[in-house]
Amino acid sequence: MKTVVAIVVVYHGSVQINQLRYFVALSDTAHFTQAAAQLGVTQPSLSQQIKALENSVGSQLVHRTRSRIELTEAGAALLPIARRILADIATAEREILALNDLQAGQVRLGATPSLCTGLLPPMLMAFRRDHPNIQLHIREGGSHDLRAKLSEGALDLALVIDSPLTDDHVLEAVPLLTEELVVVSALHQPRPVPRPRIHIRELRGRPLVMFREGYDLREATLKACRAEGFEPTLAIEGGEMDAVLEFVGAGAGIAVVPTTVVRDRLHRTPIALPGMSRTVSLAHRRGITPTRAAQALHDTITRFLGETAEAGLLPAGVRPI
């Protein structure tokens, strides 16, 4: 009997769920009037649904008396199965709700050290505020390394530099913003030039604090200097963003960095027109449906930039695309 009842209940259709709820409520109260009041339905409606359930399982489920009801043998067999099915449905609803509300999951984001130092923290704070239970895994690295990890599937998203990826068959990227590059120098030393802006050619012969090989800013600085016909003088090289800023602050030399990472204890000198800038893009794998958590982070980043730009709160030198 239990197996037959279970099969009928599972395969009869969505209306059967309400019939099970009505049956369990009637079993708990042992009274049609009380059960109807608990369910918020009329007594004739409850009686009709119980009768329909009995027709579905092919057996009488309750003995009706003037004052109360009693379960038949078939009703007693159905009751624990009905409770279990309703409990499973409630569990499934909670799990689906958790997915819809993004109350669980994880997302793996790659970003360059300069973005981790400058633009990324407020974006991630906005994401954490909206999705506090999503685990964020951040990987710092150069754009080349991040693109490789993204291609391997080790990352869900990556913020990369100057990467339209038009010829990449594995990855695609959406440009988000352009960020001005500036020359920084120590506060306790004179500014590199007495004017508001410095020309790239005026970096000739000056000690530069240079990033490690493979670093986007290193390549951009070398390219700009070589376009002016000289090789820069390297005082210190091989550092990450924090180290470069510390070396500059100590007076070891000057450096070309994004405007968003400049600290108050450094001089900031913009570069004369046409200047230097870089494009920040949000990259992902082609043809892969993102997880809900990854899509939520993608949406948060783009929405945050749009709202911040509309409010006029983007840092100086940053322009949305």
Q: What is the block-wise mean pLDDT of the chain (321 residues), using blocks of 10 residues?
A: 44 64 90 88 89 86 84 88 77 60 78 87 92 90 87 88 67 91 95 95 96 87 95 92 93 94 90 93 85 89 92 88 87
User: 137-187 pLDDT, tens per residue?
Assistant: 999 988 888 988 888 888 889 999 876 555 567 888 899 999 999 999 999
Question: What pLDDT does residue 185 have?
Answer: 96
Question: What pLDDT does residue 93 have?
Answer: 65
Question: What pLDDT does residue 137 have?
Answer: 92
Q: How far are the Cα atoms of 107, 129, 132, 292, 294 from residue 95, in angstroms, in the given order?
A: 18, 21, 17, 14, 18
Length of the chain: 321
Question: What pLDDT does residue 167 have?
Answer: 57
> What residue type is assigned to position 210 of the chain?
M
3-class state of residue 283 by DSSP: strand
Classify each residue of 298-309 as buried b or exposed e, where b means 16 or more C-beta atoms within 10 Å of its C-beta. bebbeebbeebe
All domains of the chain in start order, with CATH = 2-100 (1.10.10.10), 106-177+279-320 (3.40.190.10), 179-277 (3.40.190.10)
Question: What pLDDT does residue 321 have?
Answer: 87
Tokens representing 60 are 């009488």
Tokens representing 314 are 């983007």
Question: What pLDDT does residue 92 have?
Answer: 66
Point out which residues pair with 255 in neighbouring strands.
184
Question: What pLDDT does residue 11 have?
Answer: 43
What are the strands, taking DSSP E only, across the chain? 62-64, 69-71, 106-111, 135-140, 157-161, 171-186, 207-211, 233-239, 255-258, 266-270, 277-285, 318-320
Question: What pLDDT does residue 164 have?
Answer: 55
